[in-house]
């Protein structure tokens, strides 16, 4: 019952069940909102855990629909991926994030690294590298100020292809982080092959590290794995001082989470950065 028609109707498949119609409506709304420029990007700071110094931010997409309600990315990103809309939305996020970096650099924040989430469909698209290069050129943002986040499961999808694209990314000077690390099934040798700069530990581990002895040894293992492979380790979803302290003790380099800051619009990020820098 897969793929009955071409075009839009292909999203109605058996496994989508009764809410296929709902999803189709959601996709229509998303497309309309994107065209009407109602999608926007917010930024969540990332800090060096030991010092709390700001090292960068992650760009996160937001959609406020026609009724003014926020639709969570976990709901609409998969739809955008399935429909191919993620290619243009992803480019929008990348460019918007680059302009934000440019702006911060103009204000004197030169050591700022912007992380942008990249979907598999974008990553394997033949125009991905040219798009990346164009965004960097147009905004005068050097590669070193950009980090691309790809999920662990995505990195393991097609290792051959991934290695090729990673080499092209490296040539631009941008760095790469493996997102949601610990939720996939990558082997040590696969991870080593990728040679990415950073591992982002999924927030599930950060939370579990506190609730049980097993959870805490798993968190320790994941941090150690990254360190052993010579990668920087960033823990996401840090909400409490206890979690931050525990991760510092484990040797985790960087962190991101509500404890430090929530995702915020670019206009607020500037002020927030200035405030942090001032002590
Ligand atoms: P992610 O890449 O793992 O992003 C981190 C998510 O954790 C964000 O959710 C962020 O708001 C949330 N978060 C940050 N700190 C905390 C915390 O202390 N506690 C808790 N409970 N949550 C925290 P968000 O913004 O809802 O995004 C969800 C997912 O949607 C992202 O997960 C990412 O997979 C996807 N996404 C968001 N923006 C984009 C985008 O521009 N492109 C692509 N391809 N995916 C995106
Ligand atoms: Ca991410
Ligand atoms: Ca993540
Ligand atoms: Ca996630």
Would you say the CB of residue 73 lies under 6 angstroms from ligand 1? yes
Mean pLDDT of all residues in 205-215 = 88
Would you say the CB of residue 258 lies under 6 angstroms from ligand 1? yes
Model confidence at 210, in pLDDT bands (50, 70, 90)?
confident
Residues with CB in 5 Å of ion ligand 3: 179-180
* The ligand 1 atom nearest the CA atom of 238: 18
Reported ipTM:
0.97
Q: What is the pLDDT of residue 279?
A: 60
Average pLDDT of every residue of the chain: 91
DSSP labels, the chain: ----SSGGGGG--GGGGGGHHHHHHHHHHHHHHHHTT-EEEEEEEEEETTT--EEEEEEEEEEE-TTSPEEPHHHHHHHHHHHSTHHHHHHHHHHHHHHHHHHHHHTT-TT-EEEEE--HHHHTSTTHHHHHHHHHHHHT--GGGEEEEEEHHHHHH-HHHHHHHHHHHHHHT-EEEEEEETSS---HHHHHHH--SEEEE-HHHHHHHHH-HHHHHHHHHHHHHHHHTT-EEEEE---SHHHHHHHHHHT--EEESTTT---EEHHHHHHHHHHHHT-
Distance 9 CA to ligand 2 centre (A): 30
pTM confidence score = 0.93
Would you say the CB of residue 239 lies under 6 angstroms from ligand 1? yes
**Is the predicted pLDDT of residue 190 greater than 90, yes or no?**
no
Q: What is the pLDDT of residue 13?
A: 55
**Is the predicted pLDDT of residue 117 greater than 60, yes or no?**
yes
For ligand 1, atom 13, name the residue with the nearest CA: 237
Percentage of residues in the chain with pLDDT exceeding 90? 77
Would you say the CB of residue 77 lies under 6 angstroms from ligand 1? yes
């Amino acid at each position: 019952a897969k793929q009955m028609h071409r075009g839009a109707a292909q999203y109605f498949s058996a496994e989508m069940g009764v809410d296929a119609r709902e999803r189709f409506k959601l996709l229509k709304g998303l497309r309309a909102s994107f065209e009407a420029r109602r999608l926007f990007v917010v930024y969540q700071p990332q800090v060096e855990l030991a010092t709390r110094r700001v090292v960068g931010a992650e760009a996160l997409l937001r959609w406020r629909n026609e009724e003014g309600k926020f639709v969570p990315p976990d709901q609409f990103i998969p739809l955008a991926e399935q429909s191919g809309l993620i290619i243009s939305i992803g480019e929008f996020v990348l460019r918007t994030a680059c302009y934000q970096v440019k702006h911060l650099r103009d204000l004197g924040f030169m050591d700022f690294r912007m992380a942008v989430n990249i979907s598999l469909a974008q990553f394997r698209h033949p125009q991905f590298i040219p798009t990346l290069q164009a965004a960097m050129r147009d905004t005068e943002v050097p590669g070193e100020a950009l980090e691309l986040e790809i999920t662990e499961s995505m990195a393991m999808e097609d290792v051959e292809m991934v290695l090729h694209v990673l080499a092209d990314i490296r040539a631009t000077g941008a760095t790469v982080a493996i997102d949601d690390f610990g939720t996939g099934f990558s082997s040590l040798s696969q991870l080593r092959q990728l040679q990415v700069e950073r591992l982002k530990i999924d927030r599930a581990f950060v939370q579990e590290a506190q609730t049980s002895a097993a959870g805490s040894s798993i968190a320790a293992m994941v941090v150690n794995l990254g360190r052993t492979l010579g990668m920087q380790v960033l823990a996401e979803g840090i909400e409490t001082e206890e979690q931050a302290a525990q991760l510092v003790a484990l040797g985790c380099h960087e962190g991101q989470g509500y404890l430090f800051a929530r995702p915020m619009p670019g206009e607020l990020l500037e002020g927030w950065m200035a405030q942090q820098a001032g002590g």
